[in-house]
Structure 1
Amino acid sequence: MSAPTALITGGTSGIGKATAELLHARGYRVIVTGQNPDTIAAAEKALPEEIVVLRADARSLTDTDRVTEEIRERFGALDVLFLNAGIVRGRPVAAFDEATFDDLVNVNFKGQFFTLQKTLPLLSDGGSVIFTVGIGAIRGISGGSVTSATRGALLSLVPSLAVELAPRRIRVNAVSPGAVDTGIWAKGGLPPEAIEATANATASRVPLGRLGTSEEIAEVVAFLASTAAGYITGENIIVGGGGGIGV
């Protein structure tokens, strides 16, 4: 019997990369995608050589088709789909322009939906689909309106997909990280001093008194991917140190 196969979008850094390393250590064949040349190059050096690293822009359905075909040719099927790719653009409503709005929708929602659609024929019966949502989808975060809305759109998919795919015993769940130190604030364009201030202020509002780690989120994803979570579907697992952020 061949090892299970997992595709992780947004898998070249942060939570995706930590999950790739963990699943590989547990015997999975792993494919990760990313679109930033720097993080792709770093991942190729840092990840075990057995992990396949592919360049794919979540906004591009052509890229998604190419990744799907490569998985078909290399592995024939998928057992786990971790839809983790996403971007953050923190700003007040008045500061949003159409291009930024569209970018968030295309990466965080449209890209993940069509990745699922296109890879679904490869997904084995009894497989697992996991979305990264984020605590902002259910708790208010100043400046996070559109980012949270796109993640909330993913969250609204989960119950319906869980019902739709249940005849194939495919489980569909979400994981919602709270305050996790993944480096994503830097990707949002904040200067270093603002990043540090944001991280400190956020950690101070978490009951456990600290930011989480990518590795801690990866453990939850690995659980949802496994047969140990065989009776869990349609759920959103919050991993946020007790919550309290955005209050």
Structure 2
Amino acid sequence: MKSYAGKKAVVTGGTHGMGLATVKALLAGGAEVLLTGKNERNVEAARRELGSRAHVVRSDMGSIADIDALFSIVTDTLGRIDLLFVNAGVASLETLDQVTEASYDWTFGVNAKGAFFTVQRLVPLMRDGGAIVFTTSIANEGGSPGMSVYAGSKAALRSFAQVFAAELLPRQIRVNAVSPGFIKTPTMGIAGASAEALAAFEQEGRAVTPMKRIGTPDEVARAVLFLAFEATFTTGVELPVDGGLGQGIVTPHASPDPSPDAVALTSAVA
């Protein structure tokens, strides 16, 4: 087991799925962790499960007021931090004709604007030599019907990671991203999906992923912590954690005509 004793981390969107898996790995290694979530039920569940081992905070990444408050909470609770994992995000499947100004603003408000200002507010608290990791998506590349706004918001994070990596070089703060494919999270990336839809997504994920299975939150967490603490000569990169799905790998038994929604479905929703 990796040792993170003495390390302090903030994980947004840490109450379930990939974020929670990362929190648990950090705690198991001895780190002190503050995690956030918007959904009160998930926040309370995380508090019950983690107890006094972690600082669980309700915070909405779509609210600048909440982000400002988070700065004060992190300052009072942790002080200086070694890792900021920007994982919180939202997703919906809407074709061009279905997107409204409200749904567009909601997606970009959380995924792009919220992520940007979370980094801006918290980076003064980071120790020199620390690390920032974003959760992006394999939807960043290619074109899949119904994913325009979501993909655009996640592509923005890819650009943020590269520019922040350059801007934070003087402080030796490394900035990278993980890009998940199909991951077995409670929502499979789409909040409010029915049990039947989730089962169909999972089946499709196994069919279209070259490794013929979907990933686990623990596998994403290991990639996050690799970028955070082990990849000390790596900055500005996006690391796919997708079983080969976004890498152009074709297997003899690949599904001949996967649905575009299934190919694009990625990332956790917090």
What is the count of residue pairs matched by the alignment?
245
Return the alpha-carbon distance in structure 2 between the equivalents of residues 178 and 48 of structure 1: 31
**Quick one: which of 263, 266, 269 aligns to 1:246?**
263
Cα drift, residue 182 of structure 1: 1.1
Return the alpha-carbon distance in structure 2 between the equivalents of residues 185 and 91 of structure 1: 16
Aligned to 1:19: 22
Q: Residue 223 in 1 paired to residue 226 in 2?
A: yes
User: Residue type matched to 2:101 in 1?
Assistant: E
User: Residue type matched to 1:240 in 2?
Assistant: D
Q: Residue 236 in 1 paired to residue 238 in 2?
A: yes
Cα drift, residue 131 of structure 1: 0.3
Cα drift, residue 215 of structure 1: 0.6
Aligned to 1:192: 195
Aligned to 2:86: 83
Aligned to 2:118: 115
Whether the 8 Å contact between 2:182 and 2:188 is mirrored in structure 1 is no
* Identity across matched positions, percent: 38
Cα drift, residue 129 of structure 1: 0.3
User: Residue type matched to 1:233 in 2?
Assistant: T
- TM-score, normalised to structure 2, is 0.87
- TM-score, normalised to structure 1, is 0.95
SS at match of 1:131: strand
Q: Residue 201 in 1 paired to residue 199 in 2?
A: no
**Quick one: which of 156, 160, 173 aligns to 2:176?**
173
SS at match of 1:184: coil
Structure 2 gap segments, 5+ residues each: 247-261, 265-270
Whether the 8 Å contact between 1:217 and 1:239 is mirrored in structure 2 is yes
SS at match of 1:94: coil
Whether the 8 Å contact between 2:187 and 2:198 is mirrored in structure 1 is no
SS at match of 1:129: strand
Q: Which moved more, 1:29-38 or 1:175-184?
A: 175-184
User: Residue type matched to 1:90 in 2?
Assistant: L
Cα drift, residue 191 of structure 1: 2.5
Q: CA RMSD in A?
A: 1.5
Q: Which moved more, 1:26-35 or 1:178-187?
A: 178-187
